[in-house]
Structure 1
């Protein structure tokens, strides 16, 4: 795919003027420009394509220092070979081919080879990866009609990211399981407020009972995946006592908690967005 640099530069200059007039922050401008470029020219531009590189470099040169430091859309977590690994959900434009192995950017080639050649481990990872992908992209598109549901969803996102960061620290922090527990609770409550019009009193009456909250969500999330969550919630400790006890959860417990909360997050975004790569994968 060839492109004319001077012509693209002129186009970007005009777009940048439009974005300035609309007070669009610098960090968003290259993404908006690429989105418009793909739509106007019917192109499919992956994040690592020369056109994408040119666009980001152009805005980098014409913006304040550090304004365009970007990462993945979302960073999930995988447990393999006694270690936690980041699962990167890449920034993409247009239609591109996504591969589970490509998300393991920090995993050494030898360890990745062992994962890819283990059918049981790869099956589990692929399912988890689909949940990371659907959540990562779906979280940016999820729409709620209730402002309280929106606030709850945003809070759950922050807790999930916090829990992931604790696991991906040089020394994994077992307190991540508490962040994951709270994440699950808040996602459940966001669903109930948005989908079942739960009042503030009804939400408060749920207290921190995950089993009851899951059961209340089941009428609107009647999927096989979500039904399995009921059993998996047992990995979480009691809400109050766990916050005052010394952490005693091993890595397998932390991984189980990570998997179940990532499933809940993905199911929430599938319900409130158009993202469902897992469904597409099941049909193929």
Structure 2
């Protein structure tokens, strides 16, 4: 089966030169697209279009030139940078939205009027709050007796460690395959215990990088000195979903076993988000401003 046609960069340049008033938004994936579309419709916006970056052909060679990785996030960034460079006049409504990811940690920034970033590490982190989780626990899981605030606090301790371990892999350019939490995480009473050293050893062994252990741990400790108070900037969205699934697995009634699947959990968490709450966030405020006449 032939793959879906991807627009060439030159085609998009011509499109926005000829029609600079188009209200087009480019995002990383389908979940981002669905959430942005829903939010804008809730806020009465019309005549806009949201596209996933897979609809655009971003050559790997161009990513290399820009010192970007070959992933959806960096393709969005590449598109924004090249649009700003190539267009004779920047359309005021054209927008690219990318996850902040590790940028705060690596002190990396981009000068680009077209490009907006999530307020936190990723779009999923707008789900990491008491209102969303309490609604999900009560209506989705039937677990209204669990202390949501404590759960978020306990999860964050593990998730921040995982974030820094991922960031260390990124900083060292090891390109290692991720490791499942497995037996490195356990629940003692109501507290979550994460065996960081054991996880790192297994992670390195899995990727035949055990000889890099000292360098890895030294870089990890260095990154830990770069502090930021906002928890949601220090947690990866997919890790949040995966660890939440692990946490609730043994607490669910048989009728709720579909929530063992991270995809089901992610979808149902999205259903618990209120547009009014998103509208308080800086990214969504800026997006509404950019789409204003």
Q: TM-score with structure 1 length normalisation?
A: 0.29
Q: TM-score, normalised by structure 2?
A: 0.29
Structure number having the greater helix percentage: 1
